[in-house]
Amino acid sequence: MSSHFDLSGLKAYYVLVHGMSGIAMAMDRSTAASSGALLLFFVYVASLAVVVDASYAFYVGSSLTASGDILIGGSGEEVSGHWLQIFPAAEHAANETITVGVTDEAVLPGRLITIPQVSHTHRYISMEYSDYWGLPAPLTNGGLNDRGVAVRDVWAPNRRELVDMTPDPQTGVNYSNLARLVMERARSARHAVEIIGELIREHGYATYGGNTHLVADRDEAWVVWEFAGGRKLWAAERLRPDEVRVLYPGYIGDFPVDFERDPENYMGAPHLVTFAQEQGWWSSRASKTPSLINLVEVYGLAQDDTSPVGGGVGRVSHREMEEATLEKVPVTEQDLMSLVRDPRMSTDEAGYGQVVRLPKDGNMDPDLRRIWIAPTGSVAAPFVPWWLGVQSVPPEFGQHRYLLKEASSTFLNPGFQLQEASLFAGRLFKRVLYYMCSAPRLFRPLVQDMLVGFESQSLRDVEWVERTGEILVSAARRKEGGTDEAGRDLLHKLLTHYTHSRASHALELGSSIVDALDGYIKMTGGWRDPVSGDKRMNLPADEEGINCLLLDEPDPFDATTTPPPPLAALQQNQRPLTRAAKAFERFFGGS
């Protein structure tokens, strides 16, 4: 399935093209769990024949990037509200505990447990969300901490027999707990792997069917696969600097049987191989490569590397995306943004986008570590830079009731009154997505050109912001005693001011696009009411959701339809101007 844009239908639409270009120029100037659920789960595990919520992650080794630094990125796919949150570093009492695991509402029911908290937790930034298959909120797939450790969680389905072994109730840390505990505790990627292994060994692993975590720092990256079944099974593989890995789903292939002899490159549960032998799933005598055990074939759901995940039109194989990444070598941050927003992967299901470059500078100040985040699926939303030194999140990017599980049956807590009154970035860019995907052949290239233009400006700005930040850090370090609170405060103010300003410009861009597309669609005959007689707004489980792929179905604005009227004809319309029409007139010009 090609990802190239088909521009043949754009020739007649000079009004929209010119209007969108105007917005882009203005932007540049401004610088913006029931049994039924369980049954469905096992059907999915057995066949992968239906579309599933499938988070994804990219790893690009340092030998393949333009900067010589490791790049990682990806998205989470959850039917849930998503919001940005910065967690401060904290000190904890010796007897402090935290609650982990899953409840009886999870798709594989469990029981919550408490485990000891550590004395110090790092500062980190994360996209949080409220619901996934009954696991207790808030949840996270990962982010970046102040030690320069980045983590991404990705589903990694296990074989049916292994899932069937899961105790009822199950106990242990869940995938989100692991991602959060890595961000809170890990000093390096290797330390993150050790933390995951130790937590599973001591407390067990609670799951909905298997997960992987991609963890990385400036020196190395690992894939850690945690298995279902309640048997405390896990495996970890170090990724090469000359390698691209796309987890979609997460996987580890060939793995040394004697992996414990090579701890530099492999780690895992001590009974990883013997358990498979005891179950009759693997035998060195029957294997063509007796020194290797293929973990996908033994513990996972083996599938053709070129088979689209889930079988839906919005899916693509991990191998195809790895090849697409290799075609961009040497890969830049902006290249990875384009891969994360690939419409074959980023659809209505994507909750956000993340891209991180992990500089090799061993002296980098923790406040200057940076992550790019899109507030919803990046196919229709811009990446905004966030540093660990940013001191607050604008309310528009914080938690709102949109897509929260309980929102439809409860009233608002008065404490969130002003927060909920603010514009929500996630909902705004969902509107961009829905308008854009209604006619992707026409709208997608235009909208994404503006997103890329916005990000290009941000990338240019990042250079002077970080250079200024480095000067402030150097000045602070030269002070007697090695600290300068005034200099540190200035650094925080700089980073917070720039990020808040850029986030605000992103909202302005999103609002402009929504108004323009709304006006264009309504004024040129592109509006479509819901299907007559179908009152369901919820997507049936066996149907494909909203995406921006260029398919064979006719586009309401394709080249065979009557071109939209010129602007002069639109201006002769005597109807009172609606908000959308005013936006159309404002952004598309007129006499």
User: DSSP letter string over 53-107?
Assistant: ---EEEEE-GGGBSSSSEEEEEE-B-SS-EEEEEEPPEE--TT-EEEES--TTSS
pLDDT at 530 (0 to 100): 85
pLDDT at residue 547 tops 60: yes
Q: Provide DSSP, 306-366.
A: TSPGGGSTT---HHHHHHHHHTTPSB-HHHHHHHHT-TTT-STTB--EEEEEE---TT--G
Q: Which of these, 365, 338, 510, lies nearest to 432 by C-alpha position? A: 510
Count the Cβ atoms, other than its own, within 10 Å of residue 323. Answer: 13
pLDDT at residue 446 tops 90: yes
Q: Look up residue 308 and give its amino acid.
A: P
What's the whole-number average pLDDT of the chain?
85
Q: How far apart (Å, rounded) are the C-alpha atoms in residues 118 and 96?
A: 8
Q: Does an H or E element contain 389, and which?
A: none
pLDDT at residue 179 tops 60: yes
Q: How far apart (Å, rounded) are the C-alpha atoms in residues 229 and 232?
A: 8
Do 143 and 20 reside in the same domain of the chain? Answer: no
Do 268 and 383 reside in the same domain of the chain? Answer: no
Residue 41 lies inside a defined structural domain of this protein: no
Q: How confident is the model at residue 303 (pLDDT cuts 50, 70, 90)?
A: low
Do 23 and 85 reside in the same domain of the chain? Answer: no
Between the two ends of the chain, the Cα-to-Cα distance in Å is 44
pLDDT at 309 (0 to 100): 54
Average pLDDT over residues 283-287: 94
Residue 561 lies inside a defined structural domain of this protein: yes
Residue 422 lies inside a defined structural domain of this protein: yes
Torsion angles phi and psi, residue 60, rounded to 5: -125, 115
pLDDT at 305 (0 to 100): 60
Per-residue tokens: 388: 């660990």
Where is pLDDT greater, at 562 or 304? 304
Q: How far apart (Å, rounded) are the C-alpha atoms in residues 125 and 392?
A: 11
Do 25 and 87 reside in the same domain of the chain? Answer: no
Per-residue tokens: 585: 């007139």
pLDDT at 314 (0 to 100): 47
pLDDT at residue 383 tops 80: yes
pLDDT at 355 (0 to 100): 99
Q: How confident is the model at residue 362 (pLDDT cuts 50, 70, 90)?
A: confident
Q: How far apart (Å, rounded) are the C-alpha atoms in residues 166 and 229?
A: 4
Do 17 and 122 reside in the same domain of the chain? Answer: no
Residue 62 lies inside a defined structural domain of this protein: no
pLDDT at 487 (0 to 100): 86
Residue finishing a domain among 279, 307, 335: 307
Residue finishing a domain among 249, 273, 307: 307
Residue 223 lies inside a defined structural domain of this protein: yes
pLDDT at residue 525 tops 90: yes
pLDDT at residue 391 tops 80: yes
pLDDT at 556 (0 to 100): 53
Residue 282 lies inside a defined structural domain of this protein: yes
Domain span holding position 424:
1-30+379-526+545-591
Average pLDDT over residues 65-94: 97
Beta bridge partners of 99: 114
Q: Look up residue 369 and give its amino acid.
A: R
Do 287 and 385 reside in the same domain of the chain? Answer: no
Average pLDDT over residues 488-503: 97
Torsion angles phi and psi, residue 97, rounded to 5: -130, 165
Contact 293, 279 (CB under 8 A): no
Average pLDDT over residues 447-468: 98
Q: How confident is the model at residue 567 (pLDDT cuts 50, 70, 90)?
A: very low
Q: Which residues contact 306 (CB under 8 A, 6 or more apart)?
A: 317, 319, 320
pLDDT at residue 280 tops 50: yes
User: How many separate domains does the chain show?
Assistant: 2
Contact 458, 503 (CB under 8 A): no
pLDDT at 485 (0 to 100): 80
Beta bridge partners of 212: 154, 225
Give per-residue pLDDT as tens, 473-484: 988 777 655 566
Average pLDDT over residues 138-142: 97
Give CB contacts under 8 A, 24+ apart, made by 199-203.
Answer: 199/115, 199/173, 200/172, 200/173, 200/226, 200/232, 200/234, 200/269, 201/232, 201/269, 202/115, 203/100, 203/113, 203/115, 203/171, 203/172, 203/173
Where is pLDDT greater, at 555 or 129? 129
With H, G, I as helix, E, B as strand and everything else as coil, classify residue 522: helix
Do 100 and 163 reside in the same domain of the chain? Answer: yes
pLDDT at residue 35 tops 50: no
* CA distances to 112, 116, 387, 423 from 496, in Å: 37, 33, 8, 19
Least confident among 83-87, 211-215, 531-535: 531-535
Q: How confident is the model at residue 557 (pLDDT cuts 50, 70, 90)?
A: low
Average pLDDT over residues 116-126: 99
Q: Which residues contact 142 (CB under 8 A, 6 or more apart)?
A: 126, 150, 151, 152, 153, 179, 182, 183, 213, 354
pLDDT at 535 (0 to 100): 67
pLDDT at residue 251 tops 50: yes
Average pLDDT over residues 382-404: 97
Express as a percent the part of the chain with pLDDT over 90: 72
pLDDT at 476 (0 to 100): 74
Do 113 and 205 reside in the same domain of the chain? Answer: yes
Do 88 and 3 reside in the same domain of the chain? Answer: no
Q: How far apart (Å, rounded) are the C-alpha atoms in residues 504 and 552?
A: 37
Q: How confident is the model at residue 569 (pLDDT cuts 50, 70, 90)?
A: very low
Q: Which of these, 50, 55, 84, lies nearest to 72 by C-alpha position? A: 55
